[in-house]
Amino acid sequence: MSNNPNKKIVIAVDGFSSCGKSTFAKMVAAHLGYIFIDTGAMYRAVTLYALEHGAFTNGILDEDKLIAMLDDIHIDFRFNPERGASDIYVGGEWVEGKIRTIEVSNLVSAVSAVGEVRRRLVAIQQQMGRDKGVVMDGRDIGTVVFPDAELKIFMTADPEVRAERRYIELTAKGEEVSREEIVENIRQRDYLDQNRAISPLRKADDAIVLDNGGMSLKEEMEWFDKVFSSI
């Protein structure tokens, strides 16, 4: 930072699904020597647990059943030196792969809209960021979790661009999905994220917009360095 380079801050990265928020936030954290926290993974982990323990019936969430399960869902992050980032575990089980499936993607917005889920996870996230020096990405980091974050970034890109990125990611993992299915999933999640009653996705008034639709990762980091040096 221009005023005090040794002072650690909270960096909030919000935005639409499949914008590359986690990739960008991970790079920023590594660049600054900060801790990266993937809050979206936390909601996906709860969704996976709900799915595997009968809180969904034919794609419909039983909110009361999920809320009754919350005390049994134990989420933690463990640093993976091979990735240079933290992996997420639920009840001691590594779930990084399982939470990224299209099935979980189709259900996570319903779980994220449950007030008690958000209250519990937000409290955990705020505790994680109490000592600063963190980069946290999600949907409501700059508006709800850390409204006083020193730097807020809001990421966006055209839905077709985001769908292509997601398609490449999923097919590389061996999943059989169509581009059309992914586009529909992204459009639906955009709508649900922006229109839920609790903590809807919106840009904080003081957030800086990063439209990375036509940018390489190198260009994103060059953009970040300019922004970071100006605060």
Q: Which of 135, 112, 106, 104 is nearest to 200 (CA)?
A: 112
Q: So where are the chain's domains?
A: 10-229
Phi, psi at residue 81, to the nearest 5°?
A: -65, -25
Please report the DSSP string for 97-145 in residue order. TGGGSHHHHHHHHHHHT-HHHHHHHHHHHHHHTTTS-EEEEESSIIIII
Q: What is the pLDDT of residue 1?
A: 42
- For residue 58, the tally of other CB atoms under 10 A from its CB is 4
Q: What is the dotted CATH code of the domain comprising 10-229?
A: 3.40.50.300
Phi, psi at residue 6, to the nearest 5°?
A: -90, -10
Residues 6+ positions from 215 with CB-CB distance below 8 Å: 223
In the structure encoding, which two tokens stand for residue 220, read together? 């994103």
In the structure encoding, which two tokens stand for residue 126, read together? 């705020």
Phi, psi at residue 104, to the nearest 5°?
A: -65, -40
**pLDDT, mean of each 10-residue run, the chain (231 residues):** 68 93 92 89 96 96 97 88 82 94 92 94 91 91 95 96 91 89 92 87 96 95 96 85
| CA 188/CA 220 separation, integer angstroms | 26
Q: What is the pLDDT of residue 87?
A: 86
Q: Which of 4, 18, 10, 2 is nearest to 162 (CA)?
A: 18
Please report the DSSP string for 4-73 in residue order. -TT---EEEEEE-TTSSHHHHHHHHHHHHTPEEEEHHHHHHHHHHHHHHTT-EETTEE-HHHHHHHGGG-
Q: How far is CA 147 from CA 35, 72, 93, 104, 126, in A?
A: 19, 29, 32, 28, 11
CB neighbour class for 141 (10 Å; exposed up to 12, middle 13-18, buried from 19): buried
| CA 113/CA 13 separation, integer angstroms | 19
Q: What is the pLDDT of residue 187?
A: 93
